[in-house]
Structure 1
Amino acid sequence: MRLKWSHMTFVLLILAMLALAACGDSGATSGNKSQGQSNGNGDPTSFDASKQYTINFWEAFATGANKKVLESLTKQYTDKHPNVKINLQAYDSYTTLQTKLNASIAAKNPPAIAQVYENWAMQYKQNDNIVSLQPYISGKNGLSSSEMSDFYPSLLKDGQIDGQQYMMPFNKSDEVLYYNADLLKKMGIEPPKSMSELIVDLAKVTKSDGSQWGLSLTPSVDEWSILYKALGGKDFVSSDGQKSAFAQGGNKAFAKSALETLAPLVKAGAVHVTKQYAWQNDFASQKSVFALATVASYSFLQASIKGAFAFNEAAIPAGPAGQYTVLYGTNLSLFKGVSDDTRAVAWDYLKFLISKDANTTFVQKTGYLPIRQSVFNSDAMNSYYSKFPARKVGSEQINNAFVASFQPGWQKCRDEITNDYTSVLSGQSSADAALSKMEQQCNDALAQ
């Protein structure tokens, strides 16, 4: 009996092992690994091509050319991948997008992929809400070293936290100087290349009866920060990220001058201070000759102007410390809280959106910057630039573009600086009082 029982046990053990192996194969191919595990064979980019997937992409392309091109590119992807459904959840602003993302994370129901700003991603990384993209980049369905080197180095660096890639560039832009080319030609004025030339030109094109002013501007922290850097300012935030640096040491004089530079022109009527997007209406109706805005504003201006006059872009005029511009736009990140195979499909979709062909279409339709050097140098873009030569300006100044800070508290700093800068331009506050308030409010925000 003892030998008979031992033989039966051996048979049952073999059957159990086979059953467990079968279960293991089933789990690997189904892709239903729990959060924190890698996909089959340890490759985070692998997924079951025969399975149906739904990918939620949260973004802020709710209107205009941006909405149309994203929908078109997404259809291209899903046409080639009929087993994948992409839900484009468009929000009316980046503020709304951030609010919804934060709420979804708290509810443990985030999207697989979303547009994010750098300081959002820093907070999400600190709270373990997004994943490092390094394993995806090096996976079987990843990006080769030559593909990675094709992206502009400054844009890749913009997506790094603690030396690792947590974001890939998507809709990137920088600020440029728009100008009424027909009017400048008529007046024999060349687009200004320095701040001093710009100030002279703004006064020159302003009409004394108030029917035309040099510049229409909705003030923001970005115009102040460009002036701050161009005048000689260095850091915005201390190295430990705990307090502001713009009002410390030698930076203080440049921060104050940046607040004051345009104020006399506002008082003289050469600069018209507006709210929200009213500057676009002023420029399109030829009430203003110049405008400061991102390259992404091009398609909106084009739709409003409708060929009534020729307008162009120029690089932001340089100050004593050089030429600077702000880097705008969001990156793409992948979120925790979804299954590994769902995130692997989201990575595949992300790869498509930042591919050479997709980015070429995206740039031409929206006015955003090429994120890959091969796109900028391609025949398609050379042909495009031959028709719209000023559209090259944004890319040509990309190495001078900066992001003031990745710190999560910087968002509150941005809001405070915008308010105080506006108050100085409108004559409601002195530069000294505004700078003191900016420093205190930013220190409080960064210390939280």
Structure 2
Amino acid sequence: MLAPLIAAIEAQLGATPPERVGVAVSGGGDSVALMAALAHYCGSAGVELHVITIDHGLRPETKREVALVTDLCARWDLPHHVEYWTGWDGQGNLQAAARDARYELMADWGYANRIGTIALGHTADDQAETFLMRLARGSGVDGLSAMAPRRVHHGITWVRPFLEIERSALRHYLRAAQITWAEDPSNASRDYERVRVRDALTILGTLGITVDKLVEVTDHMARAREALDWQTFLAAQEMAQVIHGVIAIDLAKFRLLPQEVARRLMVHTLSWTSQHSYPPRKDPVARAISAVRTGQTATLDGCQVSVEGGMIWVYRELNAVKDTVCEVGDMWDDRWLITGPEDDPELEVRALGYEALANIDGWRDIGLPRAALAASPAVWYDDELIAAPFVGLDDDWSVELDGGKDAFFAALLSH
């Protein structure tokens, strides 16, 4: 049973694997099986394997699970690090917050230990369960697509070698190898949506709707997503420009786009401009598209979308950045780097604003909407405006967009 697991790992790590690989292990059967298989693979491939466990402190059983992983790592002579999450403030979605924190903590650990690749223990069952949960929410092509076996996020390459292997096969391997794992008691509680979905899969299986069939559907959806992404990329190349970080889209051409391609282009434009981790919700996006098709202005996701001169303009909303402050030399609004002749710590980078813009001659000649310029970065000393590179105030100062304007187009295909 070990051979197909090793083959799945080799398929993701490639012919020339990295010198160091990390693996996230909770103590559950999926991640323990991944760690065990990786220990065999890395031992023969000359790869250093490092183990990380995230303790969210949300269940009393966690200490026992961490101890189990610690014992296994000692048995196999693997370095093991435990990271504790204490960031829950009781607000918002706990599961989403824990997931985001988990990835950030693992990424930080990876940076600190020169580990650029981290393996995760998701299985074919996770694919099928996620598909059904998203189907129940009415998700579109992206939501119903398969989880990617390989993805770069937070600067780390995350690999999921077991996405085509069912959970039962991993349990069979662990039993045959006499390797112990911990069962999360929440896996038996029907209070959780994923547990109810697992029960539903048992019933659906009698109709031929099995895990492997659902995984096959997610693969089809992933290919459909790739085709739509490509069409959106081509549309952006034809009708969009990046001007001082502001996106300008030809309105007439945008109106001719198929609805889904138009939606994707708008979502990408908003997400790239706001730098938010998650895309804007579909209803506000639909309203924004409807507004611009008729020449109206919309505001969402910290961005303003307006129509002027036959172009759709998408840029940061002033209210979203008016309190954003950083020192010269730091990244402002996660997008802009201003540099100049002075590195005085008392200088600040802040939004230009409407009042300061009104006192600058020739700003209309730049050709950007007034609101876009008002939300652009400028250098201030208290209430004194020192430089505004967007509008040409003081040529000794310059402003650089993170990644350059080509990053807007490249990001359409990179995910």
Larger RCO of the pair (alpha carbons < 8 Å, separation 6+): 1
User: Is the pair's TM-score, using the shorter chain for normalization, greater than 0.5?
Assistant: no
Superposition TM-score, scaled by structure 1 size? 0.24
Q: Which has the higher strand share?
A: 2
Instruction: Answer with 1 or 2: which has the greater Rg.
Output: 1
Q: TM-score, normalised by structure 2?
A: 0.26
